[in-house]
A = this chain, B = another copy of it.
Amino acid sequence: MSAIDHFWAVIPAGGAGTRLWPLSRSSSPKFLHDLTGSGLSLLRETHERLAPLAGDRFLVVTGAAHREAVRAQLADLGEDAVLAEPSPRDSMAAIGLAAALLERRDPDAVMGSFAADHVIADRVGFATCVETAVGAARAGWLVTLGIEPTHPSSAFGYIHLGEDLADLPGVRGVRAFVEKPDAATARAYLAGGDHRWNAGMFVVRPGVLLDLLGRWHPEFAATLRTIAADPARLDELWPSLPKIALDHAIAEPAAEAGRVAVVPAAFDWDDIGDFDSLAGLLARGDGTDGALVLGDPGLVRAIDATGLVVPGSGRTVAVVGLEDVVVVDTPDALLVTTRARAQQVKAVVAALKDGGRADLT
């Protein structure tokens, strides 16, 4: 596989991963961690997945607090490759800033934006879809990758597929982006076959992205281009940018306007939204659904127990007689819950903040 000419990988590296507390903290979010047992952080895995396609053309956009950690993990990239947001302003500002910079840096650029904390094992399948998407992006489309659902998830938004696009084999139109459905609707989507998971992956020419943004949010697009022309004004202008997700700012209205295409993708994908999702991911790798261990198995003694154990402090962890339990051990905090209740972990983080222990979050 060879790099794609003028293809730039943009990696928004944000999000606290609250539901993966205490592994993920605001000071050390989940993309900095090895959550798959591969030996690589999710960020480094994302880089390795994209490097064959982008070569050294990377732009990572992250919070100022994480800039050094990101640079340390991606030491091969140049200093210019890591952008620090002065403050969190959601995905449209982060990805839009990358677009504005690339628009000036490379007039022929096609950018592909992929979150730093998603897991895709099938690198060849991924690369093939990205190559197809780049072709459609060069033709002027805002292109997304639509993940084939493996189960009727209520945790993801969906993409409603449209017709095949002429002259672009393997690419279809997008009828609409739809919000996270209820369980019955999700089952209907899975049965119908016309819906894909929205993994927030976008491939597009930077100018197309900014022009689409300019159509619905003209000042937003103009400010991003002003910053790109004079990066010294970043700190001054950044706080004026709206806090809005790219999906709402561009993708949804552009789909209505018939400007969005999708490459239906069959590769596996996981955003590791919580410990239940993480356990499912490890179980697929492990071929078992017993007591899964993320870390040193020698630290775990499980007797009549299933679920996920993360021995993250060097201490021995013994689990006896619990099904689908989740035990996450770190040097300063311990979580015990179940896979079914994993979503509620964010309530712990909220309680800690309310209780004056934001230092633990």
Name A's B-contacting residues (CB within 8 A).
21-22, 301, 303-304, 315-322, 325, 327, 329, 331-338, 340-341, 344-345, 347-348, 351-352, 355, 357, 360
Contact = CB atoms under 8 A, between A and B. Distances in A.
Contacts of A344: 303-304, 320-321
Contacts of A333: 315-318
Contacts of A304: 341, 344
Contacts of A337: 318-322
B316 A334 contact: yes
Contacts of A334: 315-318, 327, 329, 334
B336 A325 contact: yes
A331 B329 CA distance: 12
A2 B336 CA distance: 50
B320 A340 contact: no
A191 B131 CA distance: 79
B336 A318 contact: yes
A336 B22 CA distance: 17
Contacts of A336: 317-320, 322, 325, 327, 336
Contacts of A329: 334
Q: Which 8 A-B pairs have the closest CB atoms?
A: A321-B341, A320-B337, A318-B348, A316-B333, A319-B336, A317-B334, A318-B335, A320-B344
